[in-house]
Structure 1
């Protein structure tokens, strides 16, 4: 047998194993509300090739490829346990098991590592929580996709309605089509049908009422059977407490803004300060995509090295706020053609850091350049540290943060030397450290942080909503053993 034959045979074996993993992962998700992860990447509803690629990606951050032959025994062990709602990371199980010298079997080690989610310790499955989207633009439709994707277990978050302004003939058909096909993020994973008579979009069995209103005060959500819902405002029209309070109508309990909040509205970056949300807080903000990209790595660097001051320069994809061709705009430069120019503009991300990281004493300044790409941006974070270090030390530290720290869902890490912006379309992390671009000289560190300013940010929004609704389930094994 040739080397090529050996490689092909090995691939077919791994294909077969990955194929057999799919029903096990699906059953755990549907019946027990367990989300199976691999180094923070969900394996739910993934294809055979996607599962194999996710295993191979582990080499980028862990230094070696994980094989399904290594993780399958842990997945099989999970199916024998009395698990409650949780997230379980096969990558972490395999990594920790390799480092364990007690001679335990895979089944014994797995049962011990996830004991907090089994038997008397397990969390009871909660009733689904109603969610309403106010606005259905770029972020609104991506959040909708995520909510629909995560509704498979029947528990957790349930998208009940979308509120939009009337757009004329076949409005609902056109909006459903925009949900179905996206020029950047591709086809919707599932089926979408439209019931025009009842003003309803049905996506993967989820009935979503389309409500037409020009103002929040015009809607009584209880008329649609909606109770105690979380409303996600994707319009950015109201950003202070007074304006956002207009959404607190019958049927709505909490309001989440997908833009930086003003005044005393809490700006939340999941993974950093989401645990500071007060149970009775009704209005909060998920800050901006750039704030979510820079705050987690900034916190990580401050925790380890201390940060005395910093500057962030964002090279940001253009957005719908800009013009296709030169035209009037209330901002001085944003009126110039977005696909034809690099446009210097302001960013509020640096000032928003103080709200998300109040204990950070360092002054952070910032500016931004909009560039002619439709999605994925990069933040260049230039930091003066409290002590000197080396590139190798920062490199290894950030890689470890991405693997085992409480910020592993926010911070990703890539070592590919030829990575470019389009490689990160669809990333679910708030930011991705580009290891090859990292620069360190004594007490100065420059981090290059990619982020999908649409999808990665939408994932952060959904995580905040899961947290405030009580359906953000714990992850096992515990971080950093």
Structure 2
């Protein structure tokens, strides 16, 4: 047999193993609300090739290959346990077992590592929590996709309704079509049907009522059987407590804004300050996509090296707020054609850092340039550190943060030498550290942080909603503090 045949046979064997993993992953998710991960990347509803690619990607962050032959025994071990709702990272289990097996079998090691999700320790599945989307634009539709994807056994978040302004004939058909197909993020993974007579969109079995209203005061959600719901405002029309309080109608318990909040509205960056949300807080903001991109790595750097001051420059994809062609706009420069120009504009991300990281005393400034790409942005974070270090030390530290720290869902890490913006479309992390572009000299560090300002941000929104709803399940093995 030739070397090429050996390589191909090995690939076919791994395909067969990945194929055998799919029903196991699906059953754990469907019956027990267990999400199987590999280095923070979900394997639920993934194809054979996607599973193999997710394992292959481990070399970018862990520095060595991860094979399905290594993770399969841990997946099989999970099926023998009395698991409750949780997220279990079989990539981390395999990696940890390599160095900390302590003479245990895979089954014994797995049982010990996920003990918090088994037996008397496990979380009991609840009845689920209703969610309403107010607005159905770029972020609204991506949040809808994520809610539908994560509906699992039906015991988590349940998208019950979307609220929009009436748009004339076939409005609901057109909105369903926009959910079904997206020029950037591709086809919806599943089936969508429309019932115009009853005003519903059914997506993967989730029946979603389309409510038409021009103002929050027009809606009584209890009339649609909605109760104790979390409303996600994607419009950005109201940003202060007074305006957002209009949503606290019958059937709505909490309001989450997908834009920076003003005044005393808490700005939450999941992974950094979500644990500061008071149980009785009914109105909160998920800040901006750029704030979510820079705050986690800024916290990581401050924790390890100290930060005296910093500047963030965002090179940001254009948005619907800009004009396609030159036309009047209330803001300076944004009236100029977005697909044809680089446009200097303002960003509130730097000032928003203080809300998410109140203990950080460093002065952070910021500016932004909108560029002619439809999605994925990059933040260049220029930091003066409290002590000198080296590029190698910073990269080793950030790689470990992305793998094992409580920020591993927010911070990703890539060492590919030819990575470009389109590679990060669909990234679920708040931002990704580009190792090749990182510069460190003495007490100065410059980090290049890629982020999908649409999808990655939507994932952060979902994490906040899961947290305040009580369906944010623990991850095992537990991240290192």
User: What is the CA distance between 1:102 and its match in structure 2?
Assistant: 1.8
1:36 alignment partner in structure 2: 36
Question: In 2, Cα distance between the equivalents of 1:296 and 1:258?
Answer: 18
Runs (5+) with no aligned partner, structure 1? none
TM-score (normalizing by structure 1):
1.00
1:5 alignment partner in structure 2: 5
1:152 alignment partner in structure 2: 152
Question: In 1, Cα distance between the equivalents of 2:353 and 2:478?
Answer: 28
User: What is the CA distance between 1:72 and its match in structure 2?
Assistant: 0.1
Question: In 2, Cα distance between the equivalents of 1:101 and 1:25?
Answer: 24
1:193 alignment partner in structure 2: 193
Question: In 2, Cα distance between the equivalents of 1:441 and 1:11?
Answer: 43
1:113 alignment partner in structure 2: 113
Question: In 2, Cα distance between the equivalents of 1:27 and 1:98?
Answer: 27
User: What is the CA distance between 1:152 and its match in structure 2?
Assistant: 2.0
2:123 alignment partner in structure 1: 123
Superposed CA offset, 1:165-207 (max 9, x none)? 0001100000000000000000000000000000000000100
Question: In 2, Cα distance between the equivalents of 1:252 and 1:417?
Answer: 48
Q: 1:466 to 1:101 in 2, by over 3 A?
A: closer
SS of equivalent to 1:340: coil
Superposed CA offset, 1:41-70 (max 9, x none)? 000000000000000000000001100000
SS of equivalent to 1:153: coil
Superposed CA offset, 1:145-169 (max 9, x none)? 0000001211110000000000011
1:292 alignment partner in structure 2: 292
Runs (5+) with no aligned partner, structure 2? none
Question: In 2, Cα distance between the equivalents of 1:250 and 1:101?
Answer: 54
* 2:37/2:90 contact within 8 Å kept: yes
User: What is the CA distance between 1:317 and its match in structure 2?
Assistant: 0.1
Question: In 2, Cα distance between the equivalents of 1:446 and 1:418?
Answer: 19
Superposed CA offset, 1:397-441 (max 9, x none)? 000000000000000000000000000000000000000000000
Alignment length, in residue pairs? 481
Question: In 1, Cα distance between the equivalents of 2:480 and 2:17?
Answer: 28
User: What is the CA distance between 1:101 and its match in structure 2?
Assistant: 4.6
1:324 alignment partner in structure 2: 324
Superposed CA offset, 1:86-109 (max 9, x none)? 000001100111111521100000
Q: Which moved further from structure 2: 94-103 or 464-473?
A: 94-103
* 2:126/2:156 contact within 8 Å kept: yes
1:418 alignment partner in structure 2: 418
Superposed CA offset, 1:101-132 (max 9, x none)? 52110000000000010001111011110000
1:226 alignment partner in structure 2: 226
Counterparts of residues 69-468 of structure 1 (less than 5 Å)? 69-468=69-468
Question: In 2, Cα distance between the equivalents of 1:467 and 1:127?
Answer: 16
Question: In 2, Cα distance between the equivalents of 1:451 and 1:406?
Answer: 19
Question: In 2, Cα distance between the equivalents of 1:126 and 1:48?
Answer: 32
Question: In 2, Cα distance between the equivalents of 1:291 and 1:256?
Answer: 16
User: What is the CA distance between 1:71 and its match in structure 2?
Assistant: 0.1
* 2:295/2:356 contact within 8 Å kept: yes
SS of equivalent to 2:217: helix
Superposed CA offset, 1:15-34 (max 9, x none)? 00000000000000011110
Question: In 2, Cα distance between the equivalents of 1:320 and 1:408?
Answer: 30
Question: In 2, Cα distance between the equivalents of 1:42 and 1:391?
Answer: 31
Q: Which runs of 4+ in 1 moved over 2 A?
A: none
SS of equivalent to 2:116: helix
Cα RMSD between the aligned structures? 0.6
Question: In 2, Cα distance between the equivalents of 1:351 and 1:185?
Answer: 30
* 2:101/2:109 contact within 8 Å kept: no
Question: In 1, Cα distance between the equivalents of 2:126 and 2:471?
Answer: 7
* 2:240/2:265 contact within 8 Å kept: yes
User: What is the CA distance between 1:256 and its match in structure 2?
Assistant: 0.1
SS of equivalent to 1:406: coil
SS of equivalent to 2:36: strand
Superposed CA offset, 1:300-358 (max 9, x none)? 00000000000000000000000000000000100000000000000000000000000
User: What is the CA distance between 1:478 and its match in structure 2?
Assistant: 1.4
Superposed CA offset, 1:354-396 (max 9, x none)? 0000000000000000000000000000000000000000010
* 2:322/2:337 contact within 8 Å kept: yes
Question: In 2, Cα distance between the equivalents of 1:263 and 1:100?
Answer: 49
Question: In 2, Cα distance between the equivalents of 1:480 and 1:258?
Answer: 30
Question: In 2, Cα distance between the equivalents of 1:241 and 1:279?
Answer: 17
TM-score (normalizing by structure 2):
1.00
Question: In 2, Cα distance between the equivalents of 1:201 and 1:124?
Answer: 30
Question: In 2, Cα distance between the equivalents of 1:421 and 1:479?
Answer: 29
Question: In 2, Cα distance between the equivalents of 1:85 and 1:371?
Answer: 42
User: What is the CA distance between 1:480 and its match in structure 2?
Assistant: 2.4
